Amino acid sequence: MGSQCCKNLTNGDAHTIGNNNSTDVVQNGIEEIASQSLEVLGPKLSSLRPYDPTQEPIFPPDLKINHKEYHGVTVKISGPRVTWIRPTCLDEILQLKKRYPKARFVVGNT
């Protein structure tokens, strides 16, 4: 550790790095680079797509666009190890519970 080590700096101190001709400044141990552009930190704003509210990841577009198609209709999604059923009324829940007595209920809202 030399005399210019960041551990030797105190708040508000500014020291030059290297020889006395250096223009790089260290303040509180952090090198300030004024010429660094925002392009290094991320993509250009012109390359980003405009905001599209139909593409929200937590609201799949099909459910948002066709919500009337799914409203009031029992939905059943089956996979290799699990089947999800969205009943629409209490009678249907009771029938499902009678048919699958060991099945678990998963409930919640978003």
| pLDDT, tens digit (0-9, with 9 covering 90-100), for 100-110 | 999 988 887 65
Name the helix (H) or strand (E) containing 52.
Answer: none
What is the b/e burial string over 73-108, where b = at least 16 CB atoms within 10 angstroms of the residue's CB?
A: eeeeeeeeeeeeeeeeeeeeeeeeeeeeeeeeeeee
Alpha-carbon distance of 15 to 27, in angstroms, equals 7
What's the pLDDT score for residue 42? 66
- 25-72 confidence digits (pLDDT tens): 555 545 555 445 555 666 677 777 787 766 666 666 665 666 667 678
Q: Band of the pLDDT at 13, cuts 50, 70, 90?
A: low
User: Residue 4 in contact with residue 15, Cβ under 8 Å?
Assistant: yes
Query: Does the pTM of the predicted model rise above 0.85?
Result: no
